[in-house]
Amino acid sequence: MTVATASLTLVAASSASAATVFGFQNQYAPSNWTLTNDNANGSVNTSDAPASISLTAGNNESSLQGTTSYTITAAASGTVKFHWLFFDPAFANNFGYLLNGNFNLLAESGTSTFNVSAGDSFGFRVVTGNTTGLGTGAISNFEAPAPTPTPVSVPESSSVLGLLALGGLGIGLKCRKRK
């Protein structure tokens, strides 16, 4: 393998491992997520996707804790990153992200980053006391890992040099005929 071929292979491998989906689209389009309510009647608003989504806690007035979760399976290994803003006028709900069923509580706003492996379950959750208010978490600037693109075959430099030599030979013959 020549140095040029090795360099092209290295560049292709480096860029392929960095595949990322920006926003709620492609593998992470809203239609691929699952909304689950457990003793809650919460909802998800995807009308602003792919730019953002909003997850709202339920309030079924049972006075028992409930959860509204919005989850998906990671399409590839890598980093998930997002910005969030949580509005809870009654201070009775919590918001966070899920990773393989584990709830990670978040504050009112910020940016969060965590790693996933292909096949991991992750997503967002709002916890409600089912007594007052409807806390809403808005998620934007979402990024998640995408599957590695299929590599494209690049000709070896010797093949390219051969083609250039043939082209040069053809030009040389054409010039000789003119004289």
pLDDT per residue of the chain (179 residues) written in tens, 0 to 9: 444 444 344 344 434 456 999 999 999 999 999 999 999 999 999 999 999 999 999 999 999 999 999 999 999 999 999 999 999 887 888 999 999 999 999 999 999 999 999 999 999 999 999 987 789 999 999 999 999 877 777 666 666 666 666 666 666 666 566 66
Going by C-alpha positions, the residue among 143, 117, 149 that lies closest to residue 22 is: 143
In 39-156 the beta strands, taken as DSSP E runs, fall at 43-45, 52-56, 66-73, 78-87, 94-99, 102-106, 109-116, 121-128, 136-145
Domain boundaries along the sequence of the chain:
19-146
Residue 59 to residue 135: CA distance in whole angstroms = 10
What are 89's two structure tokens? 């006028």
Q: What pLDDT was estimated at residue 15?
A: 40
Q: What pLDDT was estimated at residue 151?
A: 76
CATH class of 19-146: mainly beta
Q: What pLDDT was estimated at residue 152?
A: 74
What are 57's two structure tokens? 């806690």
Q: What pLDDT was estimated at residue 110?
A: 97
Q: What pLDDT was estimated at residue 149?
A: 77
What predicted TM-score, i.e. pTM, was given to this entire model?
Answer: 0.74
Q: What pLDDT was estimated at residue 156?
A: 66
As a residue count, the chain comes to 179
